[in-house]
Structure 1
Amino acid sequence: MTEISSNLPETGPDSLDDDTLFAELVGQTARIEWAELERFFAKGQILKIAPTLDLVDVAMAVVRDRAESVNAWQEAGQIDALDTDTARRWAAGEATLWAVVTPPWILVQESDEAPVRH
């Protein structure tokens, strides 16, 4: 099975300015199949991101620990742990999934199109 890891520099995301980090996250955002995510779901490491949010903006907020933004999205139900019903639907191949890794989380968004590239 494919290992999913962040490709952020070994020096860590804190060593990058926001523009560089954003570009790194855009470059790491990719379409993914459920089979590559399943074991991370079992570990509780997948966060489902609402299609109304920009996946890379959310990743930036998570990496930069912008708790106010993340908490607001969580309270609005736009970011949540992946639920079993959604996981079953994704496992049945009924969705196009996009993901970006923000250790320890894998942020996953259901979308028919590629995420917006800034």
Structure 2
Amino acid sequence: MTAVTPPDAHLIIDEHDPALIEAKIISETAKISWLDLQKFYAAGSVLKVAAQADLVKVALALQQDDTAKISRWLASAEIGQPSVEQAQQWYQQQTQLWAVVIAPWVLVQQRD
């Protein structure tokens, strides 16, 4: 009897390929209204990414659990939870933000 390789076997190998993970993150990044993110903000699941930071690189570091990069970004305030004032401003202005989900986090970035 001959072993048959399942058609999705390549996914097991590819799941650790940084280029493919980055491409997946890019494909899942989109603009969304802050109004639609209220329940995630209330749950403490939103991380704000500074405008000068690369949203995709931050998402990739979170997905890969790169604690050195994440710690550095947290210390420099390039990522962090939005302040109450910021959340209120986004709500009042019905701001559209770039967002991507890296469970359990929703990363958001305001780009003007």
Q: Percent identity?
A: 36
Within 1, Cα distance between the matches of 2:95 and 2:71?
26
Give 3-state SS (helix, strand or coil) of 2:93's partner. Answer: coil
Within 1, Cα distance between the matches of 2:35 and 2:86?
14
Match of 1:41 in 2: 41
Within 1, Cα distance between the matches of 2:26 and 2:51?
16
For these two proteins, the number of residue pairs brought into alignment is 101
Q: CA deviation at 1:34?
A: 1.2
Q: CA deviation at 1:15?
A: 2.3
Within 2, Cα distance between the matches of 1:24 and 1:65?
16
Q: Which runs of 5+ in 2 are unaligned?
A: 1-10
Q: CA deviation at 1:96?
A: 3.3
2:34 and 2:96 in contact (8 A); partners too: no
Within 2, Cα distance between the matches of 1:67 and 1:41?
23
Deviations 1:83-108 (A, max 9, x none): 11000011012633100000000000
Within 1, Cα distance between the matches of 2:95 and 2:70?
24
Output the aligned Cα RMSD.
1.7
Which ranges of 4 or more aligned residues in structure 1 deviate by more than 4 Å?
A: none
1:98 equivalenced with 2:107 (yes/no):
no
1:26 equivalenced with 2:26 (yes/no):
yes
1:50 and 1:109 in contact (8 A); partners too: yes
Q: Which AA in structure 1 matches 2:37?
A: L
Q: Which runs of 5+ in 1 are unaligned?
A: 1-10, 113-118
1:99 and 1:109 in contact (8 A); partners too: yes
Question: Which protein shows a greater Rg?
Answer: 2
Within 2, Cα distance between the matches of 1:31 and 1:93?
15
TM-score with structure 1 setting the length: 0.80
